[in-house]
């Protein structure tokens, strides 16, 4: 699959378009933040960025409507608090742009049953939600392809577990372009080298990815956790009996804590090893917790400001939807014309 690293366009050239989205299924975890969201803000200086709270995707798993509305607004505010600027980027809520669902249907008709059945996330979710294996769960990669292709996206920031979605998006785009003529830009995965080493694991089981669905609440840190809660979670983090702060195979817990500390301090793994040479795990866990608390403080403060001004949030997401629809409408009109729909 085609992939690239982040390099800005030379002065005077068209800025490449980036699209990325996040589901409103609860407060962002430290893993969401370090692995993805913290990189999105800086990209705004180099690229034309389009960011979305992808609420249509969230209903493949049954949601409480009132909770979904609340979480959607919170996710929007969190993106802004994490540095997404509606003056620099298009920042919108997916369901506010009907073009996503419309384009998804057309693309469904250019997608093969077999390729959807091979998607690993469908298999995982089908196993977890065996009582609700719905058609949306099966076809959501097509909606994800529509999200990307509607904006003639050049680059999609992804981690290792999302590569397959960019691959199937390229397959769908290539098949449509081949059948109907050049319509969609072929997107590439944007792999951040920093991101590759930033996979954040559970604090209680460091062999598993940090997840808000972790049955042990001490394993997952939310970026809105109170400072005292954050410190308690890090002090109880699972490590090993070696008592050396060294990044090495078999030291999953310490490796995870070192990655987190590196993300918040900007220090290299080698510098961290030197800093804590001869010190115990207690000192190190405390230092990691303090670095996280300090790093999240401005995000938490900005989030509170935004949630206290819901009229401003509404202005931003309405404006974002209008901007998104202007762009996506051009592509959808071209798609409808290509497949032969009678113009209104």
Catalytic residues: 125, 209, 212
Tell me the Cα Rg of the chain.
21
Is residue 180 within 8 A of residue 339, CB to CB? The reply is yes
Q: Which residues, including other chains, have CB under 8 Å from residue 94's CB and lie 6 or more apart?
A: 21, 52, 53, 54, 55, 56, 57, 100, 147
CB 320 within 8 A of CB 93: yes
Which tokens is 109 given?
Answer: 């008709």
Specify whether the CB–CB gap between 137 and 126 falls below 8 A.
yes
């Amino acid at each position: 699959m085609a992939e690239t690293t982040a390099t800005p366009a030379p002065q005077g050239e068209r800025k490449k378009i980036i699209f990325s989205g996040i589901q409103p299924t609860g407060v962002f975890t430290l893993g969401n933040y370090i692995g993805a969201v913290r990189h999105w803000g800086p990209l705004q200086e180099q690229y034309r960025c389009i960011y979305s709270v992808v609420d249509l995707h969230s209903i493949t798993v049954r949601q409480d409507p009132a909770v979904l509305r609340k979480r959607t607004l919170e996710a929007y505010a969190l993106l802004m608090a994490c540095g997404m600027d509606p003056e620099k980027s298009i920042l919108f809520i997916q369901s506010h742009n009907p073009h996503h669902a419309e384009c998804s249907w057309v693309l469904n008709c250019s997608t093969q049953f077999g390729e959807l059945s091979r998607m690993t996330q469908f298999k995982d979710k089908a196993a977890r939600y065996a009582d609700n294996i719905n058609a949306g769960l099966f076809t959501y990669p097509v909606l994800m392809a529509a999200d990307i292709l509607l904006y003639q996206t050049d680059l999609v920031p992804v981690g290792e577990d999302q590569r397959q979605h960019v691959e199937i998006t390229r397959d769908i785009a290539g098949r449509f372009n081949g059948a109907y003529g050049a319509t969609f830009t072929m997107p590439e995965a944007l792999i951040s080298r920093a991101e590759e080493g930033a996979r954040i694991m559970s604090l209680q089981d460091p062999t598993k990815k940090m997840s808000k669905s972790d049955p042990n609440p001490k394993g997952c840190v939310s970026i809105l956790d109170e400072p005292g809660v954050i410190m308690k979670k890090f002090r109880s983090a699972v490590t090993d009996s070696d008592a050396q702060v060294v990044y090495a195979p078999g030291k999953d817990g310490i490796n995870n804590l070192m990655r987190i500390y590196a993300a918040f301090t900007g220090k290299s793994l080698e510098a961290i090893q030197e800093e804590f040479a001869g010190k115990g795990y207690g000192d190190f866990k405390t230092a990691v917790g303090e670095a996280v608390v300090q790093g999240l403080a401005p995000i938490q403060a900005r989030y509170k400001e935004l949630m206290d001004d819901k009229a401003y949030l509404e202005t931003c997401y309405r404006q974002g939807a209008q901007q998104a629809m202007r762009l996506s409408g051009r592509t959808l009109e071209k798609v409808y014309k290509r497949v032969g729909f009678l113009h209104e």
